Amino acid sequence: MSDDASTIQNGPSAATGSSAPAGPAGSTASAPSAPSAASAASVVSLVADNVRRLRARAGLSLRELATRAGVSTSTLSNLEATLGNPGVETLVNIAGALGVPFSELVLPHEPDVQVQRADEGVVVEADGAPFTSRLLMTTAGRSMTEVYEATMAPGTVYRAGAHLTGVSESVIVVTGRLRVGPTDAVVELGPGDRATFAADQAHTYEALAAGARAILVISYR
């Protein structure tokens, strides 16, 4: 049972991920031709799964979400149980109450897991020293962070130039031992140790034993 005149259908309107119903209030978001009962049921099931997942992620009870969205608890309960055909305006209200775009309710959920295998990633080799780093991940926003896996053979000191002003580095040793830090303040690290320092000055890396491996985090402000 729908709370409004509009219903969600398995058609272009659902696929575009629009954040509001197409057309004037009360119009239907539907495909040019009526979807089959099976396809409509699959959309209802998809929406039900997404609402349950997002409600659980938000830590809300049925009653709490229903109150925030301005729908009855029974309507929300039926929606999550794949009973009835949810209205577009109802879904817009639920999406707003959950703090997510409308498309989050009507499109298939992609798992929030990104996998990078051990033999994948951009590899950077330093000049003049057996120092290799593999890019693991980056994040961006007001600041940017890069995470590398670094390996180094003993016997050579890798001297890195200064980065841009405000850049910092954190070195977390996984195996072996390393001597790292600004050239006038190097520290020795073993497995599990971390050192963080301003990298907008010259700094060095030196492996003290074979098999040295560390996680290197570079933060740009």
pLDDT of residue 156: 82
C-beta atoms surrounding 14 within 10 Å = 24
E strands, 92-143, in order? 123-125, 131-139
Q: Per-residue confidence at 37, pLDDT binned at 50, 70, 90?
A: low
Residue 197 located in a structural domain:
yes
210: domain CATH number?
A: 2.60.120.10
Task: Answer yes or no: do 140 and 213 share one domain.
Answer: yes
Residues 211 and 165 in one domain: yes
**127 found inside a domain:** yes
Which among 160, 197, 204, 157 is positioned nearest to 183, based on CA atoms?
Answer: 204
- 29 has pLDDT over 90: no
Write down which residue in 106, 133, 152 finishes a domain: 106
Same-domain pairing of 91 and 159: no
Would 130 be classed as within a structural domain?
Answer: yes
| Same structural domain, 128 and 183 | yes
In a domain, 4, yes or no: no
Q: Do residues 61 and 138 share a domain?
A: no
Condensed to tens digits (0 to 9), the pLDDT of residues 106-138 reads 888 776 676 777 788 788 888 777 888 888 878
Over range 66-70, report the average pLDDT. 95
Domain span at 42? 12-106
Over the stretch 169-205, which tens digit does the pLDDT of each residue have?
A: 999 999 999 999 999 999 999 999 999 999 999 999 9
Task: Report pLDDT digits (tens) over 51-60.
Answer: 999 999 999 9
Is 118 domain-assigned?
no
Sign of the dihedral defined by the CA atoms of residues 207, 209, 211, 212, in that order: negative
Whichever domain contains 87, its CATH number is 1.10.260.40
Same domain, 188 and 152: yes
What's the confidence (pLDDT) of residue 215? 94
| Res 105 pLDDT > 70 | yes
**Domains contained in the chain, number:** 2
Whether 111 maps to a domain, the answer reads no
**Strand runs (DSSP E) across the chain, as ranges?**
123-125, 131-139, 144-152, 157-160, 168-175, 178-182, 187-189, 194-198, 203-207, 212-220
d(CA 79, CA 58): 17
